[in-house]
Amino acid sequence: MASFTIGVLARSAEVSVETVRYYERRGLLDQPERGAGYRQYSDDDVRRLQFVRRAKGLGFTLAEIRELLGATGSRSADEVLAAARAKLARVDDEARRLEGLRCRLSRLVRACESGSTDCVALDVGDGGLPRGDAGREGGT
């Protein structure tokens, strides 16, 4: 089995050495054996780190990735499928929320460009103020 230093591992997985250390602290990568005072990593560590990087690129949180990896570091296709479906549903919800926000902001831009008093009141329909501001005293 091949043995890599932390620098070679990081380059192989296209992450920084600090990222490797951080993932070790977070339990996403096992603490490596040491040989001649240096951390020694295997091909499995490269694959695991690449999996973490790809999962992050798909929007999974480190906690979700840790769950996917499980205690033994293995993952089944069914587990990945279930996690991907759940993540997709959350992305769809967020896309709908953002599209609503985009529409309200577009209406605000049009109101401000036309000189409407709705501009200074931020009153562009669909509930007026963005969520979180509606409960302030006076509402304006």
Averaged pLDDT, 39-64: 92
- What is the rounded average pLDDT for all residues in the chain? 84
Contact 26, 33 (CB under 8 A): no
The gap from C-alpha 4 to its chain's centroid, in whole angstroms, comes to 28
Q: What percent of the chain has pLDDT over 90?
A: 53
Number of domains in the chain: 1
Residue 18, domain CATH: 1.10.1660.10
Lowest mean pLDDT among 55-59, 77-81, 90-94, 126-130: 126-130
Q: What is the pLDDT of residue 90?
A: 95
Q: What is the pLDDT of residue 36?
A: 79
Residue 114 domain flag: no
Residue 15 domain flag: yes
Residue 115 domain flag: no
Q: Which helix (H) or strand (E) holds 46?
A: helix 43-57
Residue 130 domain flag: no
Averaged pLDDT, 103-130: 79
Residue 122 domain flag: no
Residue 5 domain flag: yes
User: Residue 1 — very low, low, confident or very high, per pLDDT cuts 50/70/90?
Assistant: low
- Specify the residue for token string 């499928």: 81
For 2, the domain range is 1-58
Residue 140 domain flag: no
